[in-house]
Structure 1
């Protein structure tokens, strides 16, 4: 494949030893503003589980409404991912990059004022739509600017921001809940603060040269590439065709059905167990016999941050496959042990859950890497958007069904189901996961 790509290039690509100061500053800012969107997403999803008991008591929620509100943002992401990706491919990355965050800001402020279950569900659904759009705009934008040797690391940093946002939100919610210092409306509405900051930082972000090239706007693409991209990426830009078929149909063409299948299953099998367990960590841990369920949930999320940092450190050294595949099987073993041996001691529960959180985070970090790499520019937005939507079907289902499964069949059965999902993810990834470490974007997104 490398020979085929090389034949398309106008000149041999010379690898540069390091980033220039100008390009380093640009990539740092771009990574920061994209990471800001992911931090906000994690913030929104992290606090809902911690305040769910207070919301339930205040609004007199049934089990069904608990599940719906817990899954509302995930349902919104299911809608927003494909929609935002389609718009980003059609009208550009730049305009959508600020519009989606403006919508999110409106929903974030509205959380201060909701007074019933339906209002809360609707507001968080809107916020989820904006978050889903941000996934399918931000990741392609960063992938299209990043040098090949740093692309995986930078995309992993974006995923780290999600976990940090989730952890910070969970910790703040924990502190405010324990101290009764703020109502659940205030805790949820605190996402307004980081949203305003990130929104202002995003103003002035340039359009993607690769998107411009895909629209035949060659002169504009070259001018922006000269300003913001390294020489090797500028040369690789010339390998990109200026026209190509767009839309969701191409995701299922012979050229890209393998990539679509892989990233969708990889993502859903990573996040379904995580969201199911993470959103209701206090409830799960308390039902397993741990009195300090809130504290245990906080520590679990801290371990997940550590797992993401490990991925950032090693992704460009050991590659994607070695980091993405083994965690599925380790997660399955850990969850099976929880299901079968939780009665032995609290230490067994904690060790197994900590192991799951660590290795699941290592693999899940690649959910922010692979989708932005394996699709061509013309369908990169819809590709990421579709994978996002597909993953949220599982995440929303897990979040909605977990309390029902626990009530009906017990925690052990819920953990066995989660283990089965992890096992499926490992098997599919073993056969379909590509190795994209160090490869140019035009190469890794070439038809399979």
Structure 2
């Protein structure tokens, strides 16, 4: 059967449903990431008491999944570039399900650390597998929205984790049960991914032209998008190419931007209840914590809605400067009323989330197909180094260095991200993938 005949067997409605399904199962992976990283913050106190951990042990458990992501991102990207997006898209979820179930049975701090490390490896692979897959199927006119929706799902997972966690702890649920609730969405998502086709761009880059054209004609509606797939060249991708003359700018930008965006947010949001309580916002800061993360969710939703209208750079650069300013205010105005401190944290959460929505968009757009997986994985690893450091050191910094110094450091990180983005961030809105990666080589 010719590709034309195959294309004729799929209606526009079927292609829309496929794109919707793919968007949802990719976003589901980000939901799980947010949920796993958020849920631990609701029970970290109970874990610390039950397992007799120090403040350093508390930070290590909070950062365990992030450390796993550091390893899983590059590994998953390498496997996805070498063996294909499709098989890894399902296998990494299977690994996550195993780790999630094991949480029910841990009885020591080292067991919990290892289990959450395993889950982090699966989550890291998720970034470098699912984002390239989504990038390579999404139409150019909707690519940014489809990818940024995954970040919306991350925040829904993160906020949902706080709600579920605090609801269960209110009825004295065991912390193992609270952590293990991630098994439910993981199993549902695993089943939803079965049968997803291979990326036609990856197939084309491997010389499997007929198969690539068949899948593209079946599921990709826009002729221009299908034509752009045929421009893919068979080129080997190697890790060292990320730092070559052709690609070092893209690699530097996506890595530093992502690092500087998530590092202060993870540190503040993971321990938001205790942070806000430190500033006099309630006995335990619960309402403020949910508020901060809820506002962050609103910010990334706004970014998702605007991304195809105002462009990537407009949603990337100004917001980082806003984050830096409000953190400086929190740091230097020690006598500020608690309500003003809360307002500053809410502004930070909203602005930070707006630019965070672009961290899932840029890696797939600025890197070519042969480097899309490993490059996304490398940027994931770099970002999680920052997130892990921030999460691990934040309790110590607040205790030993004080809130003011801690917030000034966070503001400085935001400034670095803003400057690098101003210099290196390209405008990729609506452009064909082949054209973006080619422009970086000129």
TM-score interval, normalised by the smaller of the two chains? over 0.9
User: Does residue 256 of structure 1 match 2:281?
Assistant: no
- Runs (4+) of structure 1 exceeding 4 A deviation are none
1:87 aligns with 2:53: no
CA deviation map 1:242-276 (0-9, x unaligned): x1131211101110000000000000000000001
2:228 corresponds to? 236
> Could you tell me how far apart the structure 1 residues matched to 2:354 and 2:334 are?
24
For the residues of structure 1 that align with 2:312 and 2:288, how far apart are their CA atoms? Answer: 30
Q: 1:172 to 1:342 in 2, by over 3 A?
A: farther
Q: How far apart, CA to CA, are the structure 1 residues paired with 2:28 and 2:336? A: 42
Aligned to 2:369: 377
Residue in structure 2 matched with residue 130 of structure 1 by the alignment = 122
Equivalent residue number for residue 19 of structure 2: 27
Where does 1:2-17 land on structure 2 (aligned, <5 Å)?
A: none
Alpha-carbon contact 1:342-1:348 (below 8 Å) kept: no
Are the counterparts in 2 of residues 258 and 432 from structure 1 also a CA contact under 8 Å?
Answer: yes
**Counterpart of 1:99?**
91
1:300 to 272, 292, 313: 292
CA distance in 2 between counterparts of 1:20 and 1:263 reads 34
Which residue matches 1:199? 190
* Counterpart in the other structure of 1:172: 164
| CA distance in structure 2 between the aligned counterparts of 1:313 and 1:33, rounded to whole angstroms | 19
> C-alpha root-mean-square deviation of aligned residues, in Å?
0.9
Residue 288 of structure 1, CA deviation: 1.4
Equivalent in the alignment of 1:76: 68
For 1:404 and 1:431, locate their aligned partners in 2 and report how far apart those are by CA, in whole Å. Answer: 34
In 2, the alpha carbon distance for the partners of 1:341 and 1:52 equals 30
Maintained 8 Å contact 1:328/1:363: yes
The DSSP-based 3-state class of the residue aligned with 1:111 is helix
Cα-to-partner distance string for 1:393-412 (whole Å, 9 max, x where unaligned): 10000000111111111111
Deviations 1:78-125 (A, max 9, x none): 000000000000000000001000000000000011001000000000
Secondary structure at 1:163's aligned position in 2? helix
Between 435-444 and 74-83, the greater mean CA deviation after superposition? 435-444
* Residue aligning to 2:28: 36
| Mapped partners of 2:425, 2:198: distance in 1 | 30
In the comparison of the two structures, how many residue pairs are matched?
A: 428
TM-score by length of 2: 0.96
From 245, 256, 274, the equivalent of 2:236 is 245
| Partner secondary structure for residue 317 of structure 1 | helix
Partner in structure 1 of residue 344 of structure 2: 352
Q: Once the 2 structures are TM-superposed, how far is the Cα of residue 342 of structure 1 from its aligned partner?
A: 4.2
- Cα deviation digits, residues 135-168 of structure 1 (max 9, x gap): 0000000000011010000001111001000110
State how 1:145-184 maps to structure 2 within 5 Å: 145-180=137-172, 182-184=173-175
Match of 1:273 among 254, 264, 267: 264
Report the Cα offset of residue 20 of structure 1. Answer: 2.4
Equivalent in the alignment of 1:287: 278
Q: Counterpart of 2:313?
A: 321
Provide the residue aligned with 2:382 in structure 1. Answer: 390
Match of 2:176 among 185, 198, 213: 185
CA distance in 2, matches of 1:265, 1:342: 30
Q: Which residue of 1 aligns with 2:3?
A: none
Does the CA-based 8 Å contact 1:341-1:348 persist in structure 2? no
State the alpha-carbon separation in 1 of the partners of residues 399 and 338 from structure 2. 21
- Give ranges in structure 2 of 5+ residues lacking alignment: 1-10
On the 8 A contact 1:288/1:342 being kept in 2, the answer is no
Distance in 2 between residues matched to 1:253 and 1:82, nearest whole Å: 18
- Cα separation, 2, equivalents of 1:444 and 1:47: 38
1:342 and 1:349 in contact (8 A); partners too: no
Q: Which secondary structure does the structure 2 equivalent of 1:445 belong to? A: helix
Name which of 311, 322, 325 aligns with 2:303: 311
The alpha carbon displacement at 1:22 in A equals 2.1
Match of 1:14 in 2: none
User: Residue 393 of structure 2 aligns with which residue?
Assistant: 401
Unaligned runs of 5+ in 1: 1-18
Provide the residue aligned with 2:418 in structure 1: 426
Per-residue deviation, residues 266-306 of structure 1 (Å, max 9, x unmatched): 00000000001011111111111222412211111100110
